[in-house]
Amino acid sequence: MTLRNGVEAPRAGIPERFLARFHDFIIMALIMLAAALLAVAAVVVGLLLGADWNWGDENAQAVVSGLLALAVVGMASLVALLYEPVTTARSGQTIGKRGQQVKVVRYQDGGAAPASRFVTRWAVPTWASTLGWVVAAAIGLPMPYLGMPGLWLLIHLSPLWGRGRRGWHDMIAGTVVVEASWLPPPAGPPAAGP
């Protein structure tokens, strides 16, 4: 693929991109599963220890257990939601991308993209899927949550027909996914000869 500055860069293959996405999905699902298990454990422990609590209000114990569970799930959700933008901002790779030997670079010249581009790249499918859920619920679809993964999946499938295998989220963020072994040419004028 030719970058905006005319440099040739080896595009990441579609199978590698999807396997990387699948691995990252599994990692985020494990984070959410761990949070759910901690939340259940917090509620169970709270209920088991509740017999020893003497707060004068029976509902207070349930409220504390519920708030603890909500805090654990909320923190795990935050970690899962920030996983992709934070890891790609550090090296252009998530754990899944590292395993598939692909990385995200700036489309303009193949250099490291600023963190804002990775946040944008992550936010496009995330906010589109949320919008899909809201629209599906607003128009009265019986299962509005189908709109959520539908738009998310559509955006992540867009590299199949996108120019240069760039997805809509890549185009909006000004990024491209390339083979991890590729290094962009050094910036600046060429060295003077002897």
36/15 Cα distance (integer angstroms): 31
2 SS3 class: strand
194/191 Cα distance (integer angstroms): 10
* Per-range mean pLDDT, top range of 54-58, 78-82, 106-110: 106-110
Question: Average of pLDDT values for 27-32?
Answer: 83
Q: Which pTM does this prediction carry?
A: 0.74
pLDDT band per the 50, 70, 90 thresholds, residue 146 = low
Cα-flanking dihedrals φ and ψ of residue 102, to 5°? -130, 160
Query: What confidence score (pLDDT) does residue 51 get?
Result: 47
Question: Average of pLDDT values for 168-187?
Answer: 88
124/172 Cα distance (integer angstroms): 8
Collect all residues with Cβ–Cβ distance below 8 Å to 158 and sequence separation of at least 6. Answer: 167, 168, 169
Query: What confidence score (pLDDT) does residue 6 get?
Result: 83
pLDDT averaged over the chain? 80
